């Protein structure tokens, strides 16, 4: 559900004052500023006044800059000076574009010359088609259920590694009178998750070739360790994939789009580029690991809120559930309206054991300074020690991920440098990966798209492009 709302320039959140009327199936909302769009993912807000100051701000311009940076990195010449063949890019927008909003992201990228998109489920592909996306869409998760006909109905391209799915797609294509329905075949070269293993590849590819209603247009694999320092597992998988590719061509399958690389492999293993690469987390400005070179990526998403309470407490005061953290001195504790129901993980808050062991936990950015999250993160709230943050006040903006907004009148003082909080940092503090950090931001956090016309997002609510 997407609507437009106004940007409250006073910094008090989103309000409904002086707004233009927008009718939606969920009620009447209003907007004044056509250059500031908000996607509401909560279906039944009681009123615009009910919106918390906790929002995820997505800069689509950063996304397009990342695309260009990755494109340039992939187009650099080989070390021997030979020109590198330009590869196609498949933008991976599964899991609502890693929490960034699949439809706005797809629209921003579709005009840049990408080959198409990758999603995990039929539902995700159908959402893009319903919004007017016309580029090819790969269904990579093999989550077809019994709805193989739906894949054809939405003009989606399945990635198949199971003989039964091949037969069912052939049956659905015949029923729809779709001669030579396009599929991509997935080869399991070591992930042991989905796809046909090398030992059974000959039988599988010949089975595909026997179906007059099926055409193998693509061949792919997925590397399990491309972001790790040891290249040996990826190189072994690559050799297994090449053997299967050679065999497919030998039996006449001749797939036209060969792809194996995710972001990590694309930036580390140029010999595996083939015809296309699948770029996911890199497009959103995060790196898969510290072992992957950074081509100059900019995080596209920031998670922000505002302080809604302050209290001064003496040393030894317990904070949050379980009293797992006690202040070490007289402190000022700020309460923020964000919690694990928003995707800000419970384990991010520091405990006494963390403090004793010198183990870092999450920090946020307030007035240009880092401040630690203390005590257990609650479902809807978390607490931050702002004792060392000068002039802190209720209503101050807080960046939990990314940096502070410009022109808020509360930036860093002279001599202080603003240090945006990166998803990779949150991953370390939360003992996870940047992928989980981004995709965990929940549906109740509105996605804000500066510079996007509110009317463009309203199209999504109406069910497609006009």
pLDDT tens figures, 346-384: 999 999 999 999 999 999 999 999 999 999 999 999 999
Phi first, then psi, for residue 232 (nearest 5°) are -60, -45
**Is residue 321 annotated as part of the catalytic site, yes or no?**
yes
Catalytic: which of 29, 174, 186, 321? Answer: 321
CA 300 to chain centre: 10
The span from the CA of 413 to the CA of 80, in Å, is 49
Beta sheet of 309-313, edge-to-edge order:
36-39, 447-450, 55-58, 301-306, 397-401, 363-366, 369-374, 382-385, 331-336, 309-313
pLDDT tens figures, 271-322: 999 999 999 999 999 999 999 999 999 999 999 999 999 999 999 999 999 9
Domain with CATH 2.40.37.10 in the chain: 19-48+300-448
Q: Which of 277, 278, 235, 274 is nearest to 255 (CA)?
A: 274
**32 neighbors 20 (Cβ within 8 angstroms):** yes
- When the candidates are 2.10.50.10, 3.90.79.10, 2.40.37.10, 3.20.20.70, the CATH number that belongs to 19-48+300-448 is 2.40.37.10
pTM, 2 dp: 0.86
Instruction: Enumerate residues 6+ apart whose C-beta is below 8 A from 167.
Output: 211
The span from the CA of 320 to the CA of 322, in Å, is 7
CATH T-level assignment (fold) for domain 60-284: TIM Barrel (3.20.20)
Domain with CATH 3.20.20.10 in the chain: 60-284
**pLDDT score of 119:** 98
**pLDDT score of 145:** 78
**Is residue 443 annotated as part of the catalytic site, yes or no?**
no
The span from the CA of 179 to the CA of 453, in Å, is 41
Catalytic: which of 29, 94, 186, 344? Answer: 94
**166 neighbors 206 (Cβ within 8 angstroms):** no
Beta bridge partners of 385: 333
């Amino acid at each position: 559900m997407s609507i437009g709302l106004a940007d409250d320039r006073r910094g008090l959140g989103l309000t409904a004052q002086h707004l233009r009327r927008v009718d939606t199936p969920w009620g009447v909302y209003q907007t004044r500023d056509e250059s500031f769009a908000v996607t509401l993912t909560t279906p039944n807000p009681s009123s615009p006044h009910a919106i918390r100051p906790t929002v995820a701000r997505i800069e689509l311009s950063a996304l397009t800059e990342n695309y260009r940076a990755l494109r340039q990195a992939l187009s650099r010449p080989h070390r021997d000076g030979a020109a590198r063949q330009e590869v196609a890019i498949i933008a991976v927008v599964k899991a609502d574009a890693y929490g960034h909003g699949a439809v706005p992201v797809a629209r921003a990228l579709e005009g840049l010359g990408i080959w198409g998109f990758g999603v995990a489920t039929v539902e995700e592909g159908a959402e893009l088609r319903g919004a007017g996306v016309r580029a090819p869409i790969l269904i990579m998760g093999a989550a077809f259920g019994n709805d193989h006909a739906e894949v054809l109905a939405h003009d989606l391209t399945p990635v198949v590694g199971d003989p039964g799915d091949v037969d069912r797609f052939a049956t659905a294509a015949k029923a729809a009178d779709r001669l030579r329905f396009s599929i991509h075949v997935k080869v399991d070269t070591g992930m042991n998750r989905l796809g046909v293993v090398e030992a059974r590849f000959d039988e599988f590819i010949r089975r595909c070739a026997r179906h007059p209603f099926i055409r193998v247009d693509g061949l792919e694999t997925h590397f399990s360790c491309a972001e790790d320092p040891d290249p040996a597992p990826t190189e072994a998988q690559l050799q297994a994939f090449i053997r299967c590719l050679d065999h497919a061509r030998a039996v006449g399958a001749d797939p036209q789009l060969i792809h194996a690389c995710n972001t990590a492999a694309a930036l580390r293993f140029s010999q595996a580029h083939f015809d296309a690469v699948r770029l996911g987390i890199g497009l959103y400005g995060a790196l898969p690991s510290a072992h992957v070179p950074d081509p100059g990526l900019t995080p596209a998403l920031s998670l922000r809120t505002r302080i809604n309470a302050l209290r001064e407490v003496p040393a030894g005061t317990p904070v949050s559930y379980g009293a797992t953290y006690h202040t070490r001195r007289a402190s000022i504790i700020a309460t923020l309206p964000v919690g694990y129901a928003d995707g800000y993980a419970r384990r991010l808050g520091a405990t006494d054991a963390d403090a004793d062991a010198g183990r870092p936990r999450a920090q946020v950015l307030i007035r240009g300074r880092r401040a630690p999250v203390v005590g257990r993160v609650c479902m809807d709230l978390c607490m931050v020690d702002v004792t060392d943050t000068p002039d802190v006040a209720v209503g101050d903006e807080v960046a939990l991920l990314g940096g502070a907004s410009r022109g808020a009148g509360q930036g860093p003082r002279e001599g202080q440098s603003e240090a945006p909080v990166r998803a990779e940092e949150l991953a370390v503090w939360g003992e996870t990966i940047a992928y989980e950090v981004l995709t965990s931001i929940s549906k109740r956090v509105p996605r804000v798209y500066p510079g996007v016309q509110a009317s463009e997002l309203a199209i999504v609510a109406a069910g497609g492009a006009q």
